[in-house]
Amino acid sequence: MVANFSRNAIVNFHNNHLWHDENPHAILESHFQVQFAFNVWVGIIGDFLIGPVFLPLRLNGASYLHFLEDELPLEDIPLMLRNRMWFMHDGAPPHFSLAVRQFLNRKFANRWIGRGTQRPNHLWPARSPDLNPVDFFLWGQLKSLVYATPIQNEKDLRNCIIDGCERIRNTPGIFERVRQSMERRVEACIMAAGGHFQQLL
């Protein structure tokens, strides 16, 4: 799954207040002259966090296919797990290109989930991130680590993303807790007959 990381993250300045007995003369930067951002791919397989992989800011079908064919970092995943793993992505336009779908059909046969799969029971409904651990867990956790301190430049942002992934990767028991959360989410989804279930968690 791909997420965008930029210099200034997303902050609601309307609700950001500084209370103090005296004037603290605090300055809060809200806009920057120099802007930069990255598209980042990260995956989860069992107890493995894969990535991060930095993708082009303007991602299209050709660049996403290049990533899948040449950069998808699966070499640290045990072969037995790699041969049984499922690949899942959302319905973003680069994921739907014909070349990408043909590649996934060859590489993962009937083991990929997303828009355009040949198997109707493997379609992924639009706007349904609640059952994807990368969406319901990883992006929020990673962004809270990345933006814990102000980002100064592109190198700083890149290093914070890499360091954040390492911290998550090395947190004992974290992926077991993600699996437990996934089980609760599946049960809540079934109870809601496939409807919205976030309020049931």
Helix, strand, coil % over all residues of the chain, rounded to 5:
45, 15, 40
Q: Looking at 7-11, 59-63, 80-84, 186-190, which range is the least confident one? A: 7-11
pLDDT band at 172 (very low <50, low <70, confident <90, very high): very high
For the chain, the domains span: 2-18+27-169
Give the model's pLDDT for residue 11. 47
pLDDT band at 34 (very low <50, low <70, confident <90, very high): low
Q: Tell me what the mean pLDDT of segment 64-86 comes to.
A: 92
- Cβ-based burial of 183 (10 A; exposed 0-12, middle 13-18, buried ≥19): exposed
Q: Looking at 13-17, 106-110, 126-130, which range is the least confident one? A: 13-17
How confident is the model over 84-109, as pLDDT tens digits? Answer: 999 988 878 898 999 999 999 999 88
Q: Tell me what the mean pLDDT of segment 172-179 comes to.
A: 96
pLDDT band at 132 (very low <50, low <70, confident <90, very high): confident
- Cβ-based burial of 162 (10 A; exposed 0-12, middle 13-18, buried ≥19): middle
**Residue 194, SS3 per DSSP:** coil
pLDDT band at 32 (very low <50, low <70, confident <90, very high): low
CATH class, domain 2-18+27-169, is alpha beta
Amino acid identity of residue 194, one-letter, is G
Question: Could you give the CA distance from residue 4 to residue 29 in angstroms, rounded to a whole number?
Answer: 21
Question: Could you give the CA distance from residue 71 to residue 4 in angstroms, rounded to a whole number?
Answer: 18
- On the question of pLDDT at 200 being above 80, the answer is no
Q: Tell me what the mean pLDDT of segment 14-18 comes to.
A: 48
Give the model's pLDDT for residue 10. 53
**Bond prior to 52 in cis (omega within 30° of 0):** yes
Q: Looking at 1-5, 13-17, 71-75, 79-83, which range is the least confident one? A: 13-17
Overall pTM surpassing 0.75 (yes/no): yes
